[in-house]
């Protein structure tokens, strides 16, 4: 049976520990706050070169899980740890519907604009429609990645990298994909996404293209080729968020590499060895990610060449980045949201939230960027 390794807040230095020690002694802890923790970089003195502001804010109870904010149509769909799922109008933050699931949440939110889905701590996948619970089903193991809702189906990726498909209308189980793999998996949201008529899932360091109707594997491509003397050192699961640009799906392999796969051909376009824990962002020209010390790097989408690096946020526990328009947007452990120039990596604007960590990758809908904090703050930002 596969084991899931929990590393919340841990950095590269801990990977040298033996697997048993990590599993039994470090679950749920953080090296930040200890006397030996790396000191976060002080915020640079900044004269904003672009304008921006918080245009509205709202609240959920708290966000103690790796929230994915769904952006569909005119609404953001968000969730709190206590079990509230809510749709908010992107322009003004007005609540469009709100549902109490009845259990605390472990993963979410996935949505196609009609159906929304979350997973509870009791390992139930719950599907909502029009502001009401439509159905719920038990799952065989824990889930941290937000379900993917597409084509009137709900796809769930478990921490042991099983993939399950359900009918969105009635919850019928359609298929399950179980594959042999590494004995140790990462308790962090994995990659699950859609590409045309193919389901994209992370299977260890490999990206797999799956037939969404049958659950059979069409192709595989390795983003990383991990090496090490034990299971922990070889741990290189793909972590969310990934991003798509045209035929390319780009992703991070935990503490190993960042790379892009041509999902039409099922082949790796490029891969670069780099440490880091969080997912990545990008656009038509660049892929952006932070390494284990929160140094940001932008690579060319076309060939993986380094475009720039930025080290002004070292050890500030950055969120995954969003690349939108002329900016890279990223949050930190103090609830600060930073806007960087996409071409140079220089900081252009900083906006404060509620002082608690930015808990999700920023998400954009139209001209509104939404971030969620650990204390449950939802802040809509607009650069001008």
More confident call, 26 vs 313: 313
List CB contacts of 257: < 8 A, sequence separation 6 or more: 205, 223, 224, 236, 271, 272, 273, 274
Give me the pLDDT at residue 185, please.
77
| pLDDT the model gives residue 2 | 53
Whether omega for the bond prior to residue 335 falls within 30 degrees of 0, making it cis, is: no
Nearest-angstrom CA–CA distance, 383 and 381: 7
Q: Which residues, at least 6 apart from 304, have a Cβ–Cβ distance to it below 8 Å?
A: 259, 260, 269, 270, 271, 272, 287
What's residue 322's pLDDT?
A: 98
Hey, what are 346's tokens? 């220089």
pLDDT of residue 120 exceeding 50, the answer is yes
User: What's the pLDDT score for residue 15?
Assistant: 34
HSE toward the beta carbon, residue 236, CA cutoff 13 A = 22
pTM of the model: 0.90
d(CA 5, CA 185): 6
Band of residue 182 on the pLDDT scale cut at 50, 70, 90: low
For the residues 170-183, what does the mean pLDDT come to? 87
**For the chain, what is the radius of gyration of the CA atoms?**
19
Map tokens 């090490």 to a residue. 228
- In angstroms, the Cα distances linking 204 to 133, 162, 178, 196, 236 are 33, 11, 13, 23, 6
Query: What does the alpha-carbon distance between residue 28 and residue 42 come to, in Å, rounded to a whole number?
Result: 26
Q: Would you kindly state where each structural domain of the chain is located, as residue ranges? A: 3-48+68-292, 49-66+293-384
CATH fold for the domain made of 49-66+293-384: Lipocalin (2.40.128)
Give per-residue pLDDT as tens, 322-369.
999 999 999 999 999 999 999 999 999 999 999 999 999 999 999 999
DSSP state of 147: P
Q: Which two tokens stand for residue 264?
A: 């039409």
279-288: pLDDT as tens digits? 999 999 999 9
**Mean pLDDT for the stretch of residues 305-329:** 97
Give me the mean pLDDT over the 115-131 stretch.
Answer: 97
Q: Is 20 helix (H, G, I), strand (E, B) or coil?
A: helix
What is the reported pLDDT for 37?
Answer: 81
Q: Are 171 and 152 in contact (CB under 8 A)?
A: no
Q: Is 355 helix (H, G, I), strand (E, B) or coil?
A: coil
Is the Cα dihedral 146, 362, 195, 79 positive or negative? positive
Whether the predicted pLDDT of 10 surpasses 80: no
CATH architecture of the domain 3-48+68-292 equals: 7 Propeller (2.130)
Of residues 9 and 276, which shows the higher confidence score? 276
Average model confidence (pLDDT) across the chain: 90
Are 3-48+68-292 and 49-66+293-384 in the same CATH fold?
no
**Sign of torsion over alpha carbons 262, 268, 269, 274:** positive
């Amino acid at each position: 049976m596969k084991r899931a390794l929990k590393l919340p807040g841990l950095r590269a230095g801990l990977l040298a520990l033996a697997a048993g020690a990590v599993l039994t002694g470090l679950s749920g802890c953080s090296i930040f706050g200890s006397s030996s923790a790396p000191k976060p970089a002080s915020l640079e003195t900044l004269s904003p070169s672009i304008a921006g502001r918080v245009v509205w804010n709202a609240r959920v109870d708290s966000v103690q899980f790796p929230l994915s904010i769904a952006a569909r149509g005119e609404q953001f769909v968000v969730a709190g740890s206590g079990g509230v799922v809510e749709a908010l109008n992107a322009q003004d933050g007005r609540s469009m519907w709100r549902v109490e699931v009845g259990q605390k949440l472990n993963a979410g939110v996935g949505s196609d604009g009609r159906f929304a889905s979350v997973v509870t701590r009791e390992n139930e996948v719950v599907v909502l429609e029009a502001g009401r619970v439509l159905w719920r089903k038990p799952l065989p193991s824990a889930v941290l990645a937000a379900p993917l809702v597409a084509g009137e189906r709900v796809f769930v990726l478990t921490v042991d990298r099983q993939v399950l498909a359900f009918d969105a209308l009635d919850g019928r189980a359609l298929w399950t994909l179980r594959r042999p793999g590494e004995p140790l998996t990462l308790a962090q949201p994995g990659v699950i996404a859609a590409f045309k008529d193919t389901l994209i899932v992370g299977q260890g360091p490999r990206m797999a293209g799956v037939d969404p109707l049958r659950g059979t594997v069409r192709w595989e491509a390795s983003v990383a080729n991990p090496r090490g003397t034990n299971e922990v050192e070889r741990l290189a699961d793909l972590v969310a968020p990934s991003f798509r640009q045209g035929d390319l799906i780009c992703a991070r392999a935990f503490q190993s590499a960042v790379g892009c796969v041509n999902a039409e051909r099922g082949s790796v376009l490029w891969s670069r060895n780099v440490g880091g824990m969080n997912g990545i962002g990008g656009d038509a020209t660049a892929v952006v990610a932070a390494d284990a010390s929160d140094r940001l790097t932008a690579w060319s989408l076309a060939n993986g060449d380094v475009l720039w690096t930025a080290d002004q946020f070292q050890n500030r526990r950055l969120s995954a980045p969003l690349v939108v328009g002329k900016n890279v947007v990223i949050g930190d452990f103090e609830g600060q949201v930073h806007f960087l120039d996409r071409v140079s990596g220089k900081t252009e604007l900083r906006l404060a939230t509620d002082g608690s960590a930015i808990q999700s990758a920023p998400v954009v809908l139209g001209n509104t960027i939404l971030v969620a904090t650990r204390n449950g703050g939802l802040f809509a930002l607009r650069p001008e």
